[in-house]
Chain A
Amino acid sequence: MSAELSVSVSNEDLGNPVEPFLRSDRMPHIWCPGCGIGTTVNSFARALIESKIDLKSVALVSGIGCTGRVAGYVALDSFHTTHGRAIPFATGLKLANPKLNVVVYSGDGDLSAIGGNHLIHAARRNIDLKVICVNNLIYAMTGGQTAPTTPDHATTSTNPYGTFEPAFNLPHLVEAAGAVYVARWTTFHARQLSRAIGEAFQKKGFSFIEVISPCPTLYQRRNRLGDGLETMKYYKAMSKVRTGAPTSEVGLTMNGEIIVGKFVDRNRADYQTMMRAQYASSLGEKFVELEAVCS
C-alpha cells in the first residue's frame, strides 16, 4: 500500500475537490462522452486551488462553441459572449478593472478563425489575459465543419473528401504576435496542464495555453480515429515533451507526433504598464490614475 492511500480521510473530504468551482445546479453539462473539455475544466479548477488565488478576483470569458459553454459551468463571475469576441470583451473588462484576473476560455474555431484578428492584436498589445484554447481540431457545436486548425487531409462535414487547406500552428502564431507565455498540452496531460495554468496566473501579460482535446463524436469518428479512450492512447504514445521547442516546429498532423510543453516564457511590459508609463512621461502631474475613479 502506498503512503498516500494510508492517509485517513474524513467524510467532508470525500466530495469532488473541484465541485466548489462548478455550478452544480447546471449539471449535467452538454459535452459528449469522451469529450476532453471537462478534463480541461478539472485541470483549471485544480490550478485555481493550487494557486490559492482569490476566486472573487477571477472572471472567466468565453466565446461561442462547445468550449464556449465553460463560462456557464464555473462558479465564477463569467461571461458567455459572442462568437469570436471573448478576447475583446475580456480586454475591456481587464482595462476597466485591472485588479481582476481575467481568463479567456474558448475553442480553436472561436479564437483563431472568427476571433483570429482579436487573438493576434491582444497578443501584440500584451493585454494581461490568460487564454485557454481548447483545440479539438474542428467546429464541434455546429456539427464538425473544417476549422483553421483541422489537420491536412482530415475529413470533415464541409470537406467530405478531405481538407486541403494548411492549418494554423497556434503556438507559432501567438508567439510571433507577442505572447509572453505559450504552452501546449493534451487532455492526457491533466496535471501538466494544471501546472501550466498556474504558471500563466503568475505571468503578467498575454498567456496562451493550447489544449489538444478529442471530439469523439465528430472529428475522431469521422476520421476513424477511435473513441475517447483510443484518443488518450494516441496522445500518450505520440506526445513528445519538448520544453522550449521552436514554435515553428510544433505544427500538428492527423496521425503524427504532438509536440507538447512550455514553448515560450518571456517578460515584456503589459499594455497597462506601457500605457501608464507613457501617460506619466507625457502628461506628468496631469495624469490621473484609473484606480482613483469609480463610476
Chain B
Amino acid sequence: MKADPRGVLTGEHFIDGDHACCEGALAAGARFAAGYPITPSTEIVERFAARVPTVGGTFIQMEDELAASITLQGAVWGGAKAFTVTSGPGFSLMMEHVGYAAMTETPCVFVDVQRGGPSTGLPTLPAQADMMQARWGSHGDYAIIALCPNSPQECFDLTIKAFNLAEEFRTPVMFMMDEVVGHMTEKVVIPPADRIEIIPRKYTQKPAEEFLPYKGNGAMVPEMARTGEGYKFHVTGLTHDERGYPNMTPQIQDKLVRRLQNKIQFAADRITLCEEENLSDADVVVVSYGITSRVAQRAIDQARERGLRVGKLRLITAWPFPQERIRELAGRVKAFIVPELNLGQMALEVERAALGKAETYPLTHAGGGVHNPEDILRAIVEARR
C-alpha cells in the first residue's frame, strides 16, 4: 500500500540524520514512539513529539529505557506502528525487550545512534561499536535485521525500509546510525506519499476459532490478530506452541527457536542490501558501513586514481550479514580491508565468511572521531603487497 499522506513531508529539506529518521518513521506510518532522552539520539523523538499530534499519534517519554522498549510493544499490539530511539547505554538496557520482541514476534524498530562506549563512554562522539550487540545483545538464539544508513537521505529511506521489514518478518529491526550520520546535515528529498511503498501489518482473516497465533504460514511468519476483536489470544515470552500457550518441551523449543532464526536467515538473500563499486576487477575490497563508508570512499577514489584495483562493498544491512557475497568475492580477491569505529566487529564476520580464501585486515578505531582516509589508503596499498 501507499504511505498515508498525513505523515509525509514531501519536498526538499536541509535536515540532519536524526530528523530525517523521524520523518522516515512518520512516512512509514509510525504513530507511536516511547523514548528516554539520550545523546546523540534525542533529536529524533524531539521532532516526533512535535510532529505526531498533527498526524494522529502519541509520543510518551518513559521513566527509563526498560520501560520505553516495552511500552512500544504494547502499542504495537494495540495496533500502532511503533519505535524507540536510543544510544549505547540505553541500547544495553533495551536488550531484554529486543529478546521479547523476537520471541513474541512483535514488529517494531529500535533506533540506536551509536556513540563511544563501553558504559557512558563518549556521549557526544561517534562509534560503531554496538554492531555485535545489535546481533547478539539479548540472551538466547534469534535472528535479527539491522540497517546502517550513511547519510541523512538514507536515514529517511532506510527507516521506511526498517518498518517494512519489521512488518514483513514480524521482527524487531535495529536501525544502526552513528553520531556523525545523526548530526550531519544534508539535503533530504521526501517523495510524494503515493511514491512510498508501505507494508501494512498482516492481520488474520480467519475466524477466532480457526486462528492459531503462532502457526507460521508458508513464509514462516505468522499472521497477527487485533487486540479487542474477540480472538482471546495469548502472547508470552515463554517458549510457546502454535496456540501461543507455554510449553516447556525440548521439541517445542526446537521448533520455535529454529523458526525464529530461519524466517530471517532463509530470506537473507532478499533482505540483504549492499552497495558495490568496481568489484569486477578488484584485488582488494574495502568493506565498510555507516559514516566509515563515506571516509573510505575518499581513500578508494584516491587509490583508483593511482590505478590500484580496489573495490567497494558497503553494508547497508549488517544483519543478516551478506556472507554469500563475501564468500564469492573471497575466491577471487586477495584481501578485504574492514575499517570500522570499533576494535573489529564486522571484520570478524568478513573473516568468517571468507573461509580463509582471502586475507581480512581489520582497520580499527576506538571511536570519538572517524578514520583518516590516508590510513585507509595506506592499508589498501599494504594489502596489495
User: A92 contacts B71, CB within 8 Å?
Assistant: yes
A295 part of interface (Cβ distance < 8 Å) = yes
Q: How far is the CA of A95 from the CA of B34 in the complex (A)?
A: 11
Known A59-B228, A290-B56, A295-B29: A90·B79 in contact at CB below 8 Å:
no
User: Chain B contacts of A287 at CB under 8 A?
Assistant: 53-54
Q: How far is the CA of A117 from the CA of B64 in the complex (A)?
A: 9
The stretch from B235-243, B250-258, B281-289 touching chain A is: B235-243
B348 part of interface (Cβ distance < 8 Å) = no
B96 part of interface (Cβ distance < 8 Å) = yes
B234 part of interface (Cβ distance < 8 Å) = yes
User: A290 contacts B58, CB within 8 Å?
Assistant: yes
Q: How far is the CA of A11 from the CA of B58 in the complex (A)?
A: 50
User: Chain B contacts of A76 at CB under 8 A?
Assistant: 232
B230 part of interface (Cβ distance < 8 Å) = yes
- Cβ-neighbour of A93 out of B57, B62, B74, B201 (below 8 A): B74
- Cβ-neighbour of B78 out of A78, A97, A275 (below 8 A): A97
B38 part of interface (Cβ distance < 8 Å) = no
The stretch from A43-51, A79-87, A132-140, A212-220 touching chain B is: A79-87
User: Chain A contacts of B48 at CB under 8 A?
Assistant: none
User: A77 contacts B231, CB within 8 Å?
Assistant: yes
A189 part of interface (Cβ distance < 8 Å) = no
B32 part of interface (Cβ distance < 8 Å) = yes
Known A80-B235, A290-B58: A295·B227 in contact at CB below 8 Å:
no
User: A85 contacts B67, CB within 8 Å?
Assistant: yes
Q: How far is the CA of A93 from the CA of B60 in the complex (A)?
A: 12
User: A85 contacts B72, CB within 8 Å?
Assistant: no
Q: How far is the CA of A85 from the CA of B66 in the complex (A)?
A: 8
User: Chain A contacts of B34 at CB under 8 A?
Assistant: 88, 92
Q: How far is the CA of A59 from the CA of B53 in the complex (A)?
A: 26
User: B79 contacts A92, CB within 8 Å?
Assistant: no
User: Chain A contacts of B56 at CB under 8 A?
Assistant: 288-293
B6 part of interface (Cβ distance < 8 Å) = yes
User: B80 contacts A96, CB within 8 Å?
Assistant: yes
User: A72 contacts B236, CB within 8 Å?
Assistant: yes
- Cβ-neighbour of A283 out of B6, B53, B229 (below 8 A): B53
User: B55 contacts A82, CB within 8 Å?
Assistant: no
List B residues 319-377 near A (Cβ within 8 Å): none
Q: Which residue of A lies closest to B232 (CB)?
A: A75
User: A96 contacts B237, CB within 8 Å?
Assistant: no
A91 part of interface (Cβ distance < 8 Å) = yes
Q: Which residue of B lies closest to A292 (CB)?
A: B56
Q: How far is the CA of A54 from the CA of B229 in the complex (A)?
A: 10
Q: Which residue of B lies closest to A295 (CB)?
A: B81
B77 part of interface (Cβ distance < 8 Å) = yes
Q: How far is the CA of A82 from the CA of B6 in the complex (A)?
A: 35
User: A295 contacts B74, CB within 8 Å?
Assistant: no
Q: How far is the CA of A93 from the CA of B304 in the complex (A)?
A: 54
Number of B residues whose C-beta is below 8 Å from A? Answer: 52
Q: How far is the CA of A93 from the CA of B34 in the complex (A)?
A: 12
- Cβ-neighbour of B67 out of A71, A88, A294 (below 8 A): A88
User: A82 contacts B100, CB within 8 Å?
Assistant: yes
Q: How far is the CA of A72 from the CA of B32 in the complex (A)?
A: 27
- The A interface, classified by DSSP as helix, strand, loop or mixed, is helix
Q: How far is the CA of A78 from the CA of B31 in the complex (A)?
A: 23
Q: How far is the CA of A25 from the CA of B234 in the complex (A)?
A: 13
Q: How far is the CA of A128 from the CA of B72 in the complex (A)?
A: 17
Number of A residues whose C-beta is below 8 Å from B? Answer: 48
Q: How far is the CA of A84 from the CA of B32 in the complex (A)?
A: 22
User: Chain B contacts of A288 at CB under 8 A?
Assistant: 6, 53-56
Q: How far is the CA of A56 from the CA of B72 in the complex (A)?
A: 22
User: A95 contacts B60, CB within 8 Å?
Assistant: yes
User: B54 contacts A283, CB within 8 Å?
Assistant: yes
User: Chain B contacts of A121 at CB under 8 A?
Assistant: 62-63, 67
B97 part of interface (Cβ distance < 8 Å) = yes
B233 part of interface (Cβ distance < 8 Å) = yes
Contact with B along A268-289 (1 / 0, CB 8 A): 0000000100010001001111
User: B74 contacts A89, CB within 8 Å?
Assistant: yes
List A residues 88-115 near B (Cβ within 8 Å): 88-97, 99-100
B383 part of interface (Cβ distance < 8 Å) = no
- Cβ-neighbour of B32 out of A26, A95, A117 (below 8 A): A95
CB A203 to nearest CB in B, in angstroms, measures: 20
User: A88 contacts B235, CB within 8 Å?
Assistant: no
B123 part of interface (Cβ distance < 8 Å) = no
A61 part of interface (Cβ distance < 8 Å) = yes
A159 part of interface (Cβ distance < 8 Å) = no
User: Chain A contacts of B78 at CB under 8 A?
Assistant: 92-97, 100
CB A58 to nearest CB in B, in angstroms, measures: 9
CB B194 to nearest CB in A, in angstroms, measures: 18
B21 part of interface (Cβ distance < 8 Å) = no
B186 part of interface (Cβ distance < 8 Å) = no
User: Chain B contacts of A294 at CB under 8 A?
Assistant: 79
User: Chain A contacts of B96 at CB under 8 A?
Assistant: 82
User: B245 contacts A89, CB within 8 Å?
Assistant: no
Q: How far is the CA of A295 from the CA of B60 in the complex (A)?
A: 18
- A-B contacts, 20 of them at CB < 8 A, read A23-B234, A55-B230, A72-B234, A77-B233, A79-B74, A85-B66, A88-B66, A88-B71, A92-B74, A92-B75, A92-B78, A94-B74, A96-B76, A96-B82, A97-B227, A283-B53, A287-B54, A289-B56, A295-B31, A295-B81
List 8 additional A-B contacts (Cβ < 8 Å) besides A94-B74, A286-B54: A75-B232, A77-B225, A79-B74, A85-B66, A91-B67, A92-B74, A93-B78, A295-B81
Q: Which 8 A/B pairs are nearest by Cβ-Cβ distance?
A: A92-B74, A96-B78, A97-B78, A92-B75, A80-B236, A293-B56, A96-B75, A93-B74
